[in-house]
Amino acid sequence: MSTTLERPTEAQARGFTREAVEALSRAKGEPAWVLEARLRSWETYEATPMPTARDEEWRRTSIRALKLDQVTPFGAGAMPQSSLGALPNDVRAGLSEEGRAGLLVQHNSGMVFRALSDEVAGQGVIFTGLDEAVREHPELVKKYFMAEAVAPEHDKFSALHGAFWSGGTFLYVPRGVAIETPFQTRVFADADAPAIFAHTLIVVEDNAQAVLIDEFISPTAESGQGFSSGAVELYSGPNAHLRYFNVQDWGRHFWHFNTQRLIADRDSTTNSLTILLGSKLTKTNVESSLRGEGATSEMLGIYFGDGTQHFDQHTIQDHVKPNTTSDLLFKGALRDRARQVFSGMIKVEPGAQKTNAYQANRNLLLSDKARVDSMPKLEIGANDVRCTHGATMGQVEPEYLFYLRSRGLTREEAERMIVEGFLDEIVQRIPLEEVRDRLSDAIQAKMGLPPRNKEDSAV
């Protein structure tokens, strides 16, 4: 069943208010505990000042031009649910039920397609929209939702998300169930001045295994402002293995804020990859909290900025217990006047002996006007650890371009080959060919080249 929201009143059509929170919950027919949680988040939002350049984490990212009173907090209805083949081409491009354990497609704030294999469902796996999960599995959702991983108190935009979340994904894999085939979700937005508050909640219990590819896409509007405030909560149980891929390709009118946080139990292994391609401005937090002894977290990131795109990524590798391992590698390319801000923290709590932590941020500059600010940091509270961190940035060597152009390639084609080679060690870890194709087409477009396969180009 899709979530169709009532049309907002004129007073609710723009901006965020307590009355809009209540109207959203009423439109969804939510139980009292959900409304109470939303209102607590709203109170936190109102009590938290808007970040400014005086705040350390926001010194290099200005949001003065963000106009929250010009976006629609909710009411952007979704198209009716239908078969995958009946969805518009730009919504379903690159999607297939084949090779998927499950597939969800959401349009604006509503579900339009859901598929879950009978074999997977028969093992007790839950894969559905978060709105639907609140109705069908309330006790399970209540136990994890914004309780520990991403709390409203995390920052102002997390609090706003807690008040207005709508749509998103709930994946629950019970104890001992290993699903090797990927799950995939796609959120597609094309509403007028939309505010998208998609929430991803993944719980992989003891000795369980899952892979999820989470995509967020939209065309670029000629005018107006889009706004996205997302949250991703990852729970890896004892000896669990979770692989999570987040692909952000919003239109260039979007302001995107997102917090992704992992709670890792003992001997668990979690691999995450964040891909940033779209938006006008992106501010993300990617965090791992290694709470169980022997837990491992691999945190990978890819970004490619052009025009005047601004990406700001803040990462934390928090080692709480002994014998934990984290490995972070964020790589990206920038051209034109694009800017990347990276602030990474390795934090070793007192008593977290035998910690192994690695952090690297590597940047390729394709223009002398592109800019990178990279700030890797360490905060060590134990004396028997191995922690390394570093950052690199540099332009393409002229000799490389000369060699490739001497073989008949244009400058754009030569730069594209260099960028793809630079990112390849991470790209090859993406389990779906369609997602790799999307990334390749995005690189082509940013280089001013046509897609290699137009049928698989989403937007």
pLDDT in tens, 340-357: 999 999 999 999 999 999
**The predicted structure's pLDDT at residue 93:** 82
Q: Please choose, from the candidates 74, 65, 61, 42, the residue with its C-alpha nearest in 3D space to the C-alpha of residue 310.
A: 61
pLDDT at 11: 39
What is the C-alpha to C-alpha distance for residues 58 and 38, in angstroms, rounded to an integer?
A: 26
What average pLDDT score do residues 164-193 get?
94
| Three-state secondary structure readout of the chain | CCCCCCCCCCCCCCCCCHHHHHHHHHHHCCCHHHHHHHHHHHHHHHHCCCCCCCCHHHCCCCCCCCCHHHCECCCCCCCCCCCHHHCCHHHHCCCCCCCCCEEEEEECCEEEEEEECHHHHCCCCEEEEHHHHHHHCHHHHHHHCCCCCCCHHHCHHHHHHHHHCCCEEEEEECCCCECCCCEEEEEECCCCCEEECCEEEEEECCCCEEEEEEEEECCCCCCCCEEEEEEEEEEECCCCEEEEEEEEECCCCEEEEEEEEEEECCCCEEEEEEEECCCCEEEEEEEEEECCCCCEEEEEEEEEECCCCEEEEEEEEEECCCCCEEEEEEEEEECCCCEEEEEEEEEECCCCCCCEEEEEEEEEECCCCCEEEEEEEEEECCCCCEEEEEEEEEECCHHHHHHHHCCCCCHHHHHHHHHHHHHHHHHCCCCCHHHHHHHHHHHHHHCCCCCCCHHHCCC
Average pLDDT over residues 262-287: 97
Query: Which candidate, 372, 374, 324, places its Cα nearest to that of 347?
Result: 324
- pLDDT at position 94 is 80
φ and ψ at 322, to 5 degrees? -70, 160
Hey, what amino acid is at 427? V
Residue range 264-280: mean pLDDT, rounded: 97
Whether the per-residue pLDDT at 4 is higher than 50: the answer is no
* Dihedral (Cα; 302, 304, 309, 312), 10-degree rounding: 20
Predicted local confidence at residue 422, as pLDDT:
94
CA–CA dist 273, 245 (Å, integer): 5
With cut-offs at 50, 70 and 90, classify the pLDDT of residue 459.
very low
CA 166/CA 185 separation, integer angstroms: 15
Which has the minimum average pLDDT: 29-38, 165-174, 392-401?
392-401
CA dihedral 93, 99, 102, 106 (to 10 degrees): -10
What distance in Å separates the CA atoms of residue 74 and residue 7, rounded to the nearest whole number? Answer: 8
What pLDDT score was predicted for residue 445? 87
Which residues share a beta bridge with 282?
256, 311
Instruction: Establish how many alpha carbons lie within 13 A of residue 56's alpha carbon, considering only the half-sphere containing its beta carbon.
Output: 4
Q: How are strands ordered across the β-sheet holding 183-188?
A: 110-116, 102-107, 183-188, 209-217, 241-249, 269-276, 296-305, 325-334, 356-365, 386-395
> Is 268 within 8 Å of 237 (Cβ atoms)?
yes
Residue 449's identity, in one-letter code, is L
Q: Mind listing the pLDDT tens digit for each residue in 154-167?
A: 999 999 999 999 99
CA distance 228 to 218: 11
Asked which of 49-53, 219-223, 369-373, 451-455 is least confident by mean pLDDT, the reply is 451-455
β partners of residue 387: 357
What does the chain come to in residues? 459
Return the pLDDT at 431: 83
Interatomic CA distance for residues 277 and 281, integer angstroms: 11
* Type of residue at 133: A
Question: What's the chain's average pLDDT?
Answer: 91
| Residue 31 clears pLDDT 70, i.e. is over it | yes
Percent of the chain predicted with pLDDT > 70? 94
